Structure formats: structure tokens, C-alpha cells
Chain A
């Protein structure tokens, strides 16, 4: 059974492996370059005061990370969609389309065992692929995380290429593809629907992690640049007056136009607003919620995918047509 699964799906396995290797090489080169640059150019100071050396270093690191990061940014959308369309959708649809299920299901192996072997084998491969992706992205990110440059894997740019996110997305997409293939019994419609649903899921969940838990709230006690702790997930920020009522920045702007002037960018303006009783509030998720959020999203994806897969498989295997 393992041989049959491999023989029928080796193309997908090989192409995915090859793409992961290519990505690994690109990230290795980029990561080594960044590490080398950081070792030579990272300012010794903690850069609270923004010296030219500090900003030059930040700009260079930012440029380096984003040249590759832009490519990586497409992965959370593209990779699950392709996995679903090419690993999942043909799994049953192709058998039905070519009538080969009649051949395979009349050998001495029950169709249940046959499908179980395929789902377990390919599901494990897909999950492993997702974990490998995270496994090569994380050291690459770590190479950039040299102070004063900070890389935050809770940041939505990286959240879905680290931890268990790629594995969860890939496995869910695979199950989705298999289910649509079982329901449509034709490869192309199953692939199209899988691609569509994957895209919908991606855009639907794009900003969703902020709401996976009630955010924590930090109120400004003195004038500082950043309120939320490092590596946390920023949700929103707003102003309150001395009575605690919420203000939009526009309303504050109007109220303070007299005493504080209109140039909001200066520190003086900030101190002026502060002395008038205004406080800035930031809502955020602390860094230690990273894994909680990873598992929450994994659940959001995997529970429907597993249920849909279960229903589709039961329907497909029922000796009916």
C-alpha cells in the first residue's frame, strides 16, 4: 500500500521537496548574508537614541529581510492552495474519473484500508512538509533578530510561516482537496473549488488572530515611543481623556489645537497632550500567546477540514454507484 501511494503521488512529493530545497537554499544564502552583515555592523549601543549608525543598520537589515520576505509572504496563500489542488483533489477524483477505483477496490484490500493508507501516508508527508518549511524559515528569521533590529514571529508577516501554521494549513488544504475530489468525482472542478476555498480561508483569516483572545490593554503612564512590550501582537491604539472616555485622534487634534499647536510629530506636542490628561491606550497580545494563537488557528482550520473529509470519505466509500 505504501508503495502504491508513493507510485501514484511521487510527482507531488518530488516537486514539493524540490521547491522546499530551493527555498532552503535561498534562505540559507540570505540568512548567512544577514548574519555576516549583523556581526560586522550591528551597533554596540542599544540604539535608544537614534544614531545614524543605528538607522543605517536598521534600514539595511530591513531591506535584506524584505527582499526575501516578500517572496515568503505569498507562501501562506499559495502553498496550501497548491497542496490542496495537487495533493488532495486528484486523490479520489482521478480514480473516479478514470474508473480505476473499480480496479483497485476489487483487489484483496478493502477500500477503507486503501484510502486510510493513502490519507495517512500523504497526510503525514504534507504535515512533515509544513513543519520543514517552518523549520527552515525560523533559523532564517533568527539570523535577522540581532539587536537593535528586531524580528517578531508574532508579526502577521511571519506568523503563518513559522511554528505549526504551515503544517496546519497544508494538512487542512490537503483534506479539503480530497473531500472536494470525493464529492465532485472530477479532478478539474475539485481543483478549482479547492483553490477558491483556500483563497477565501486565507483572506478570511488574514487579520483574524487579533481576535483569538481578548487583548491586553496598556495605558500610557509617561511619554514613550512604544507602549506594547516587545514581540507582542499589536491590535489597536486610541486616546482617552482624563475621564477615561475614548477619543479618536481627530477629536483630540481638534480639542488640543489651541494649547498644543498642530504639529503632532514633535515630542513637545506629545508632552503637551499628556499634561492635558490625555493618555494613549494600546491593545495587544503579549508574546507568550504565540503558541495559543497558533493552536487556535490550527483548530479553526483542522476541525472543519477533518469533518468535511470524514463526511466526504464516508460518502465516497459507500458502495453506492
Chain B
């Protein structure tokens, strides 16, 4: 039913429209929905991510992040709607599969294979395999090629899995909780080597986590999924610029709330702290209020506490 029209959205959370020609769309979901045995894991997700971004995909446990990412990777098929990677549905075509790399939650590898055999696996199954890149990465990480994968530490296994995903030379790298079950040092190392790979290959990356702080420094795009629905999708800088923490007298809070959307409202006695979404042109020139910026973490938390609030770019409907 949506086959003959495309819903396209660009730009940041404040609703500005970036011209479509500026960059290709890496990931586009249109009314994407997935149902498992009667329960909807994902409902009506519509979003798009421009190419070249590093996307922090956050949401509480059970929000449907894994389902969404598995749909993107083509491991499962949507119940409704569609998801496209670089304009093409992933799934059962080798060319489409070659553009996306997927790192599943438990970072599955063949435990009985040596690291070298895992590279051979990647080499045999991917026409675009970059063996030199893989070997160089593993050498830098001091991971012995002749060691069995099952004998490596959790952090090393994650690095091998990431290496295989990167050496595939994908245009989109999808990672489902790559930092889960890793110690802080390993988390740091994984993020650092991921960022090095991104800088080198210009690929688009989507990585999910339920810990926002893991991703704040690395990502320039934020996607928040809550209860199976997209709550935020936008460029991090624009999102931060569009939200303000306002502090002022509690008796005036309702007046402010009437003028702009309040994401979080905490009042204590005569003092009110409002996290508001300030659209373009809606600024507050009242000396009784002081405005300060918000951190990404505060922003995400505020939205997650209010599941019915969304900050999505305004969709432009192009009917053809």
C-alpha cells in the first residue's frame, strides 16, 4: 500500500529539512513492524539515516532494538512495512547482503575455528573481503592467528567478530550491543578500533546499547527506541541545540509549558526545572528563567521517561 509513495525524512530533531541531495540515505524504515506470536516487538517505525553517520541506537531492554537491527540485517522479515539499506531491501540477494555487516548480540563465532580459519571463512563468503585489513587489525590487537576462537578472551572474541565485520568492507555496519558483557577496558578498545575503522572506510555504523554513556563520544546521530516505537531520530548536535533545561519559578512553569513542548518537568517547592524542546524561533526572553544546555544522557533519559513524547523530524511526503 505504500509501494507507490516514499516517505522521506531528513534533517535533525528541530524539524529543519536538509535537502535530500546532500547525502544518500543509508538506512530507511517505513512503517516497519514486527510481530512475534501475537506481541508486537516493533510498531510503525519510520525513520531514515543519512550515509556516513555513526548512529547511537539506544533504548531500554526489550524496546525492540534487536528486532529492528535483525530486520536491517535481513535475518528476519518484517510483518509489515519495509526497511531499505541504500535504497534496497536486504534479504536474500547476495549483492544486498554484501553491503551490510551484522554483529549479533553474542558475537557468535565458530569456537572450534582458529582465528586464521575465521578469516578464511570471511574470505570465502565475501567477494569484497579485505584480508590485508583484517590481518593488520588483528596484528595491532596482538591476537594470535593460530589460537582457537573459543580460547580467546571475551574482548578478543569481540575484536575478531568486529574484524570480520569490518573486513567485509560493508557500507553499513550494524552492531547489536557490541559492548555488552565486556569489561570497561575492552569496551574502550572496541570503540577505539571501531572509530579507527570508520575513519578509514567511511562506512555508516549503527550500534545499539542500553547504556548511553558508552556511545556519547563516538556517535553523531541518535536513535531512541522505546516500547517498539521510534522516539528520537536525529543528529546529535541538532538535538542538543534544540533542547534546553529551563530553571525558574514554579508558578510560571505552566505558562512556559503552554508555549513549548516540555519533555521533563520536575518541580520542587518554588523552583521548576523544565527540559523543553525549543523549536526554531521559540526562544524565551524572560529574565526570571535561566536556560542551560543538556547532555545527551539527560536528553535520552528524559525522553525514555515519557514514552509518548517523540522528537522526530517532520516527514515530507512525496507522492509520485
Chain A residues engaging chain B, CB cutoff 8 angstroms: 1, 3-4, 7-8, 98-100, 102-114, 318-321
A110 touches B92 (CB 8 A): yes
B124 touches A1 (CB 8 A): yes
B 94-106 binary contact with A (CB < 8 Å = 1; else 0): 1001101110101
In B112-165, which residues have CB < 8 Å from any A CB?
113, 117, 120-122, 124-128, 161, 164
Q: Which of A1, A100, A106, A319 contacts B110 (CB 8 A)?
A: A100
> What is the CA–CA distance of A319 and B102 in the complex, to the nearest angstrom?
15
Say yes or no for B77: interface residue by CB 8 A criterion. Answer: yes
Q: Please give, as numbers and ranges, the residues of chain A lying within 8 Å of B36 by CB-CB distance.
A: 321
B106 touches A109 (CB 8 A): no
Max count, chain B CB within 10 A of own CB: residue among A102, A113, A320, A321:
A102
User: In the assembled complex, how far is the CB of residue B207 from the closest CB belonging to chain A, in whole angstroms?
Assistant: 15
B117 touches A7 (CB 8 A): yes
Say yes or no for B183: interface residue by CB 8 A criterion. Answer: no
A102-B127 contact, Cβ under 8 Å, with A109-B94, A110-B94: no
Can you list 12 A-B pairs, Cβ within 8 angstroms, ordered by A? A3-B124, A7-B120, A105-B75, A106-B75, A106-B101, A106-B102, A107-B125, A107-B126, A108-B128, A109-B97, A110-B92, A113-B94
Having A3-B124, A7-B117, A103-B110, one finds 18 other A-B pairs with CB under 8 Å, namely: A3-B120, A4-B121, A4-B124, A4-B125, A7-B121, A102-B102, A103-B164, A104-B125, A105-B75, A106-B100, A107-B168, A108-B94, A108-B98, A108-B125, A110-B92, A110-B93, A319-B91, A320-B77
A99-B106 contact, Cβ under 8 Å, with A112-B92, A319-B91, A321-B76: yes
> What is the CA–CA distance of A61 and B83 in the complex, to the nearest angstrom?
73
A106-B108 contact, Cβ under 8 Å, with A1-B124, A111-B92: no
> What is the CA–CA distance of A41 and B139 in the complex, to the nearest angstrom?
72
B 207-230 binary contact with A (CB < 8 Å = 1; else 0): 000000000000000000000000
Q: Please give, as numbers and ranges, the residues of chain A lying within 8 Å of B232 by CB-CB distance.
A: none
User: In the assembled complex, how far is the CB of residue B219 from the closest CB belonging to chain A, in whole angstroms?
Assistant: 22
Say yes or no for B63: interface residue by CB 8 A criterion. Answer: no
A107-B75 contact, Cβ under 8 Å, with A4-B121, A7-B113, A102-B102: no
A106-B127 contact, Cβ under 8 Å, with A98-B111, A111-B92: no
